[in-house]
């Protein structure tokens, strides 16, 4: 019975440690999601992996639209995969590959409000790019931290689409795994 308790504690610790590896990135850092920010420079030094989150902080008059590569490249609006305009949008990066985001307000994408992030399946090397390079830094008024130090996501308002839903059960699979292992151990 003591071995089961140690196994339970060990598995819980492992699950919590793995979950804490996810990073919350505030897009544009203190500048937020705004016209005049060089998002290519912002993404250049970052390594995005599945499980990380992007938090977009912005004022009224902006949106966060996830789009296809072709719409990103041409700044075509109206074809978004997901869209949100709540002022703070969190996107959980659930799949590897390149994810493209633009502001869906006419003229904003063309003025630099676009960012692409390359997401790897694990801690491997990734790169991100943006085809614009404009300078300026409006202040952020968002309520979320601007650090990228491995903090866990909060319950953050986001769009209704499943591709951008921040699941409050992000570590749920691990918990289910732990429960299954404990039940198996009890049966033996």
pTM of the shown model:
0.60
Q: Of all residues in the chain, what percent are helix, strand and coil, respectively (each to 5)?
A: 30, 20, 50
Distance CA 186, CA 169 (A): 25
CATH fold, domain 23-169, is Immunoglobulin-like (2.60.40)
For 4, 155, 174, 188, the CA distances from 183, given in Å and listed in that order, are 10, 30, 14, 9
pLDDT tens profile 97-132: 999 999 999 999 999 999 999 999 975 544 444 433
pLDDT tens profile 122-158: 755 444 444 333 333 333 333 333 333 333 333 333 3
Distance CA 45, CA 66 (A): 22
């Amino acid at each position: 019975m003591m071995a089961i308790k140690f196994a339970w504690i060990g598995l819980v610790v492992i699950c919590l440690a793995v979950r804490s590896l996810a990073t919350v990135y505030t897009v544009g850092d203190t500048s937020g999601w705004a016209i005049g920010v060089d998002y290519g420079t912002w993404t250049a030094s970052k390594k995005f992996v599945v499980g990380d989150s992007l938090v977009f902080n912005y004022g009224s008059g902006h949106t966060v639209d996830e789009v296809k590569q072709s719409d990103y490249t041409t700044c075509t609006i109206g074809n978004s995969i997901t869209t949100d305009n709540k002022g703070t949008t969190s996107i959980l990066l659930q799949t590897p590959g390149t994810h493209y985001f633009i502001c869906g307000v006419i003229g904003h994408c063309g003025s630099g409000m676009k960012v692409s992030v390359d997401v790897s399946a694990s801690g491997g090397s990734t790169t991100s790019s943006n085809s614009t390079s404009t300078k300026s830094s409006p202040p952020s008024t968002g309520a979320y931290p601007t650090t990228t130090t491995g903090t866990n996501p909060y319950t953050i308002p986001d769009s209704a689409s499943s591709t951008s839903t921040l699941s409050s059960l992000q570590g749920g699979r691990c918990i289910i795994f732990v429960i299954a292992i404990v039940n198996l151990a009890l049966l033996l």
